[in-house]
Structure 1
Amino acid sequence: MSDDVQDGFVRVRLDLSYEGRDFSGWAKQPQGRRTVQGEIEAALRTVTRSTETYELTVAGRTDSGVHARGQVAHVDLPVELWAEHRDKLLRRLAGRLSHDVRVWKVEEAPSGFNARFSAIWRRYAYRVTDNPGGVDPLLRGHVLWHDWALDMDAMNEAATALIGEHDFAAYCKKREGATTIRTLQVLRWERRDDGILEATVKADAFCHNMVRSLVGAMLFVGDGHRPVDWPGKVLAAGVRDSAVHVVRPHGLTLEEVGYPEDALLAARSKEARNKRSLPGSVGCC
């Protein structure tokens, strides 16, 4: 599959953020369900006075209730339309979009850029408080309350067994034809000055529910319900464990998406489309 842009079109990169509470995720859904993709595509159609909807491709599809601070998408627009609207597009989108979604940058993408396949990593944060009094009301839409004291050192020790390239089938919701092999680059907990525990989770890509499942396993270790080696054993077993809970979405935020230098964008996009297998395994996925 090529990332060459169709003749007469220009690929445009959008950097954006959204508060996920009132969205049914990123991807367009049946009529009547509000999504980030649907909202932005409708706004683009309106402000450019287009009769056609130009479809967005996103770096990472977020689930219902998940937030994004550093999301990236692209859209292919006719050259004439882009030339006419490029200088005023950002301000017009700001006037049209709801207050819980913002586009911060709109620019012509470099050759070979694909918001999804050119990305080399995605970084999420998950925020939890174990304060016995609960969550600060001003943060309630972005922080999970865990009603047990959490041992951050135990969670970080447990995380070491999960770092690297593995088949994360035990932590993913399986999708037909999709591989669950991922390279987890960072899984680290820090306690902020305000007492909130913040997990940084970074990987080349994530499968469905992976971050929230990993966090759920870590919390069970942190509150003493499971030993430190349990998350690693679950990973090695390769099957879902009923004790691995998918934590609620509101504590999760997509913070940043990373891309290689421009000269490597096309090669990365091609590489990312290849089906993956672990060394020594039989078959591709």
Structure 2
Amino acid sequence: MSRPAGPGTWAELDALRAWLREAKGELTFPRLSRRAEQFGLPVDGRTLRRALQDGLPTERTVRAYARGSRKAADNQARRAMEETGLRLRKAAQQTIPVPGRTWPTPVHVPGRVRTWDGLTKALNRLHQEAGGPPVRELAASPGAAGRLSKSTIYNILHGRHPTGEQLAALAAAFGTSQSTTDALLAAHWRITAEPLPPAGYPCAVAERAEEERQDRREQDEKKRRFRGLPEKVELDWYEQQLRDEEEAEHRRRVAWVEGLSADELAALQR
């Protein structure tokens, strides 16, 4: 294990970052992101930028650098670049000491949570029982194992809907028991698998979903304008995943309404 001259860095991590800079070349981060997306691996430009500045990048980020690089002329060259980058990342991961968990183990076991709001409250209670560790430390914990970024953890604790994999990773970062992890995953399954409730006026289901979707979009646009950001921004992979889930839910509701027969429509309206 060798340290370079600069304080607070490691030779293996420096080697990985040198490879990232070489793969990026003269490309801007947004351009590198778009090229990686063209080859099947969308990663936000901000995430690519952080890889050169903050901690150990994830495997996905390293692959995105390889796929977006102009130095890879074909699929074979891209695969070779990926292998090189992943090998350097593995060396850095094995060299850099992983900080141990320093917070107490939360003991709360959630009940039969059936809503996203209830799941968010359960996660925040676990966060409090763990002593409120910073999201940076949670993301760097052995339990998270590089599966969660700081922004992802922050968003989940503030109400964003996690995937099952993200939820399991966050539970591992907290250091919860198997019973707590199972309860969280069971809650996630119940929420995502709940059937649509009957409506007095079925078409209102699709209309209400569309109104809610538009309201959220308008709120996002207002926030961006208030912060002086451009109206059209590139979403990171987590934000894009949320947007895709939102679109899928809307399509599911519309398909449910359109799938009702005339008799079913009449019965529900009565």
TM-score (structure 2 length as normaliser) = 0.29
Larger CA Rg, structure 1 vs 2: 2
> Larger strand proportion, structure 1 or 2?
1
* TM-score in terms of structure 1 length: 0.28
